[in-house]
Amino acid sequence: MLFDTAEAEFGGVDVVVHAAGRMRLAPVAELDLAELDALHRTNIRGTFVVAQQAARRLRRGGALITFSTSVTGLALPGYGAYSASKGAVEALTMILARELRGRDVTVNAVAPGPTATDLFLRGKDEETVARLAAQPPLERLGTPDDIAEVVAFLASPAGHWINGQVVRANGGIV
């Protein structure tokens, strides 16, 4: 297992970033339940398993960073299943931060807004992308580097006072 290897090679685990995610968009009334199960298996169960291992193995001063989405605050039609799965990630993140009381380990979620990634761009025409890019007051899509900088801060000693939070890195949309 990855955690075993990290402990054997580096003497322990200091930072865990769990960014795996799956998105399937459809109205709630139309979403196939097999798609819902697959989405939940990745977004909820996958996050839970990684968080569980991180909780068992992170050293003092460590950090766990999960990924949510700013869509949870927008309530956009078609995003019901995806948003619900990421809402579960936010709840798990906040609870785990409290469960690790006394361990000196931080647990936070990053909730990107519209970010120019394959997951975001897949299936969207240019007009849709332009409309979504215009939403934030900064009037652009986020970049993977924008999100990576937030993650790096939360993983660093400078971000260690932030704990049990959802950081909405979205250019100001919610």
Placement of tokens 């849709």 in the chain: 128
Q: Catalytic annotation on 82?
A: yes
Tokens found for residue 85: 């799965």
Give whole-number Cα distances, 99 to 69, 105, 110, in Å.
23, 10, 19
User: What would the pLDDT profile of 45-101 be if each residue is shown by its tens digit?
Assistant: 999 999 999 999 999 999 999 999 999 988 889 999 999 999 999 999 999 999 999
Domains, the chain, ordered by start:
2-167 (3.40.50.720)
Contact predicate 66/106, CB 8 Å: no
Contact predicate 104/60, CB 8 Å: yes
Please state the rounded mean pLDDT for residues 20-34.
Answer: 95
Task: Name the β-bridge partners of 86.
Answer: none
- Single pTM value for the model: 0.93
Number of neighbours of residue 56 by Cβ within 10 angstroms: 9
Percent of all residues in the chain with a pLDDT value above 70, rounded to a whole number: 99
Catalytic residue among 82, 92, 108, 166: 82
User: What would the pLDDT profile of 105-145 be if each residue is shown by its tens digit?
Assistant: 999 999 999 999 988 888 889 999 999 999 999 999 999 99
**18 in helix, strand or coil?**
strand
Contact predicate 6/13, CB 8 Å: yes
Q: Which residues of 139-152 are buried (b: 16+ CB within 10 A; e: fewer)?
A: eebbeeebbeebbe
